[in-house]
Structure 1
Amino acid sequence: MKNRTIVLFLVLGGLGAFGKLYAMADSISPKVEPVMEVESVSAKSGELDPAAVKVKTGEGEEQTLEEKIRAEIAAEMSEREKVLLEREKAAAEKEENLKAVEARVDVKVDELKGISTDIEAAVGTISKRKRVDIEKLSNMYANMKAKDAAAIINTMDIKMAVEIIDGMSPSAAGSVLGLMEPKKARDVTNAIFARGEKIAD
């Protein structure tokens, strides 16, 4: 009688442990409702042996509880690894796209720098040619009779008149200004003076 009581106690204790393992398996994969058959309880510890518990899945396949738990854990880890790999792939693609955009931007910047250099060179060439032309015109009007030069410069716009008069020697400029219309001579003088102040600033 005493031996039967001990065996019964061990069986009941094993079933309690079995209940805990079943709850664990159920929390891992709630979609599968296995039908479990207890075949062995450890007589030494009174605990359920997962390797000896047979489980039937929804597909009718039979496996031990231990195999089922390991398979579900492995499946979950595989799914997580898949998600991580997809994220890494997406991040790598974004990085490659960003590098491609940066490369295109660098090319455009280099092109704009080249265009800017060309424009500056063209402007410099035009400015140099303009200075040469104005210098020639100033010398030409300076070598004319002051009366004739004044009559022609009177008809010019103020900007051109300033450039030509300013390019003459002081004595030639004074002679021409003295024979120009008073208002035009005053406007030219004021413009030359204002330009000198601007350069000094």
Structure 2
Amino acid sequence: MQIFSLLNGKVIVGGLALTLVAKAAMSFPELPMFKDTGITAPPSLVQTVAAKEKPPEFSNEIPPLVANLPKTTENCEAPEDVLISLNKERELVAKQRAELENQRAEFALAQERLGIEKTSLTELKTSIEDLLARVDAAQTDDLNRLIDLYTNMKPADAARIMDDLDIETTIMILGTMKPRTAAPILAKIPAVRARAVSKIILERSQLPGDQNLTGIKLK
């Protein structure tokens, strides 16, 4: 058994050696030791080996520094166009700013004019109020003096004069007098005019819409 195993091992080793020699002869047939052996390598194997031994070719294309960088299109604006657009935008902004400043100046001027007019109107209102107050005071003084005059008259004489006065003055005098002083004078006035005076004095205390002055006779 040992002899048989030894023979098998030698046979295997010999087969491996022959295989290696055959591969070497096929790969390198130009070596002197394999020229006369008659072993030729198939053309495909020789071409494969030659292709493997071919030096690598270098590409002239330079890879991009940043991957997936978007390519520049033909529609991209040139720097000159960008500068022109920026200048136009600056001019537009400057124009709008100038218009805004003008509007602000006009608004400030209008505000100043309104302030001056308001001051003038306030002064005019104060002057008118002062004038009306003086007129009212003068009228009150005149009315008081007139009332004093009619008060110091005899009722018959005062009634005779009031019968010829306009109705507004008669009502103003009698309406301002004390009732004890006005009663004797009103009693001496003709009945038709006395009724008119009494009706008007009564109705003037009512609101304008509630006054009823129809049917009043003065004579």
TM-score, normalised to structure 1, is 0.65
1:88 aligns with 2:139: no
Residues 136-169 of structure 1 deviation map (CA, whole Å, 9 limit, x = unaligned): 1111011111111101100111110011112322
Deviation at 1:22, TM superposition (A): 6.7
Alpha-carbon offset, residue 105 of structure 1: 1.1
Q: CA deviation at 1:75?
A: 2.4
- Which structure 1 residue ranges, 4+ long, deviate > 6 Å from structure 2? none
Identity in percent: 19
User: Which protein, 1 or 2, shows the higher relative CO under an 8 Å CA cutoff with sep ≥ 6?
Assistant: 1
Match of 1:194 among 187, 192, 203: 203
Deviations 1:39-61 (A, max 9, x none): xxxxxxxxxxxxxxxxxxxxxxx
Of 108, 125, 133, the residue aligned with 1:124 is 133
Supply the RMSD in Å over aligned alpha carbons: 2.4
- Does structure 1 residue 146 correspond to structure 2 residue 197? no
Question: May I ask how many residue pairs the two structures share in their alignment?
Answer: 146
Aligned residue identity for 1:24: N
Larger helix fraction of residues: 1
Question: Pick from 59, 77, 81: which aligns with 1:72?
Answer: 81
Q: Which residue identity lines up with residue 74 of structure 2 in the other structure? A: A
1:35-87: CA deviations, max 9, x gaps?
A: xxxxxxxxxxxxxxxxxxxxxxxxxxxxxxxxxx3333222212211111111
Distance 2:57 2:73 in 1: 28
Equivalence for 1:23: 74
Q: Which runs of no fewer than 5 residues in structure 1 stay unpaired?
A: 12-19, 29-68
Q: Which runs of 5+ in 2 are unaligned?
A: 1-55, 63-70, 208-219
Q: Deviations over 1:75-102 (max 9, x none)?
A: 2212211111111111111111111111
Match of 1:105 in 2: 114
Q: Which has the larger radius of gyration?
A: 2
How far does residue 172 in structure 1 lie from its aligned partner after superposition?
A: 2.0
